[in-house]
């Protein structure tokens, strides 16, 4: 890339992994917008993806957007059990999906909601004691990173934690590789070896130790007893301990139990000191999708809009399960922020509302191109902690991008009403 051809830099808020960094330098050049420095591989990959074009098509053939909207509306009008999935998109787009779903009924799920649902199931059974990223950065004296994906899926986490005097890092169940903790300037982290597939046992042992109950055996869940005793003592002695996990990446047969164990451990610790969870997730605006579906329906992801209103049924409404079980006759997939490829289920038509760079497993019945949030238009995404809703300001507005997904979906709703009216 010719640096001289690059135009003015902008500072953008990054929508990709969920950490919501609001200091991403963007350079727009002939190849489209790119991060101004190579500080974050995930951001670079997201922007790179966005430079691939997407075309408006009906059955793979180029089509005018208005015709494609009518074709999609006909499919919607004929569908009896639509699946609204993907939702890897800005809040406004997800809200527009819900407006559509309210007219047709159907299942609502985000492409990456597995981890989120694990945390949510525990919250709905037990609760949670959590901190936001800013609180962790400002106040923590001990941060326990459970598993490598706490930093590998969130590349700037260690940098964002920065390292004031007195802040210690513990890597539980993993050993950092070069680059994992880029930006961390504090003392080297302490590694506590453990088998993360046995995290529920590990958490139970830590709870026992924190409560002053002895734990039998020389090693528990791959961790040596002395190492666990030391960790329990550190957690109990910390003024403001943080336990971070990425529920989407937790191994083991029942990852929910791992979350449950960590949440109970945290709650116990709060009897005498402060200890808070930092559940990490939220790539492709998963958190924002959860928020808007929850406030508009009262339920949340993996609910269905039924004739009696919204109904939460996470076991039943996972999009991949619905597809595998053949319980849908139309997929409406929305993706402006990446996510997995748009599925291509056998015999079930797919309407894709897709920004540039969206990957496809096959040829959808209709592709409706949508703009890139924060490049082509202003939009809102949530940070992983659910507190910060961040505004993405268009840095390439008016440069011939596609319309916002919210408008594309609004047009689709209007076309649906017309098709229904005509019958």
Task: Give the burial string for 334-370 (b: 16+ CB within 10 Å, else e).
Answer: bbbbbbeebbebeebbbbbbbbbbbebeeebbbbbbb
139 near other proteins (CB under 8 A) = yes
Select the binding partner of residue 295 from other proteins, ligand SF4, none (C-beta < 5 to 8 A, by kind). other proteins
Residue 22 sits in the site that holds other proteins (CB under 8 A)? yes
The nearer residue to ligand SF4, 43 or 355, going by C-beta atoms, is 43
Nearer to ligand SF4, 183 or 252 (CB): 183
| Count, residues near other proteins per rule CB under 8 A | 60
Q: Which part of the chain contacts ligand SF4 (CB under 6 A), choosing from 17-25, 101-109, 331-339, 387-395?
A: 17-25
93 belongs to the binding site for ligand SF4 (CB under 6 A): no
What CA dihedral angle connects 241, 244, 250 and 252, to 10 degrees? 0
What tokens were used for 117? 């649902």
Query: Are 99 and 413 within 8 A, CB to CB?
Result: yes
The answer to whether 155 contacts ligand SF4 (rule: CB under 6 A) is: yes
Pairing of strands 168-172, 142-146: parallel
34 belongs to the binding site for ligand SF4 (CB under 6 A): no
Torsion (CA) 216, 220, 225, 231 in degrees, nearest 10: -120
Partner touching 49 among other proteins, ligand SF4, none, CB below 5 to 8 Å by kind: none
Taking the complex as a whole, the smallest distance from the CB of residue 397 to ligand SF4 amounts, in Å, to: 20
Adjacency order of strands within the sheet including 330-335: 61-62, 57-58, 366-369, 350-354, 330-335, 82-88, 106-108, 303-306, 309-312
Task: Answer whether 141's CB lies under 8 Å from 239's CB.
Answer: yes
Q: Using CB distances below 5 to 8 A depending on partner kind, what does residue 22 bind out of other proteins, ligand SF4, none?
A: other proteins
Task: By CB under 6 A, name the one of 20, 147, 261, 282 that touches ligand SF4.
Answer: 20
Strand partners, 379: 392
- What residues line the site for other proteins (CB under 8 A)? 11, 13, 22-23, 91, 95, 99, 102-103, 120, 123-135, 137-139, 160, 162, 239-240, 270, 273-274, 276, 291-292, 294-300, 305-312, 378, 380, 382, 386-391
């Amino acid at each position: 890339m010719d640096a001289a051809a690059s135009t003015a830099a902008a500072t953008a808020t990054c929508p990709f992994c969920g950490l919501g960094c609001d200091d991403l330098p963007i350079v727009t050049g002939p190849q489209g917008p790119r991060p101004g420095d190579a500080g974050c591989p995930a951001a670079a990959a997201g922007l790179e993806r966005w430079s691939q074009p997407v075309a408006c098509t009906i059955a793979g053939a180029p089509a005018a957007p208005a015709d494609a909207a009518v074709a999609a509306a006909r499919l919607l009008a004929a569908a009896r059990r639509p699946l609204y999935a993907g939702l890897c998109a800005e809040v406004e787009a997800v809200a527009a999906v819900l407006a559509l779903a309210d007219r047709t009924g159907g299942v609502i799920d985000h492409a990456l909601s597995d981890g989120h649902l694990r945390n949510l199931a525990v919250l709905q059974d037990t609760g949670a004691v959590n901190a936001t990223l800013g609180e962790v950065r400002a106040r923590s004296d001990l941060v326990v990173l459970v598993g490598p994906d706490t930093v590998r899926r969130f590349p700037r986490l260690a940098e964002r934690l920065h390292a004031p005097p007195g802040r210690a890092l513990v890597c539980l169940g993993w050993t950092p590789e070069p680059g994992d903790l880029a930006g961390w300037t504090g003392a080297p982290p302490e590694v506590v070896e453990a088998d993360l597939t046995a995290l529920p046992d590990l958490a139970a042992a830590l709870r026992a130790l924190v409560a002053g109950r002895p734990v039998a055996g020389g090693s528990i869940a791959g961790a040596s007893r002395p190492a666990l005793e030391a960790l329990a003592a550190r957690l109990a002695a910390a003024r403001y301990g943080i336990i971070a996990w990425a529920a989407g990446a937790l191994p083991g047969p029942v990852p929910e139990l791992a979350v449950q164990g960590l949440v109970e451990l945290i709650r116990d610790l709060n009897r005498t000191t402060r200890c808070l969870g930092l559940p990490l997730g939220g790539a492709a605006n998963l958190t924002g999708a959860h928020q808007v579906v929850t406030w508009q329906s009262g339920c949340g992801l993996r609910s269905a809009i039924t004739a009696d209103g919204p109904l939460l049924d996470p076991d039943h409404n996972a999009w991949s399960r619905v597809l595998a079980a053949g319980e849908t006759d139309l997929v409406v997939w929305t993706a402006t922020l990446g996510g997995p490829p748009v599925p291509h289920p056998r015999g079930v038509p797919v309407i894709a509302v897709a920004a540039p760079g969206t990957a496809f497993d096959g040829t959808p019945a209709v592709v409706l191109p949508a703009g890139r949030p924060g490049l082509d238009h202003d939009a809102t995404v949530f940070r992983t902690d659910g507190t910060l809703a961040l505004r993405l300001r268009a840095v390439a507005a008016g440069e011939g991008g596609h319309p916002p997904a919210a408008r594309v979906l609004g047009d689709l709703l209007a076309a649906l009403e017309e098709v229904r009216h005509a019958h």
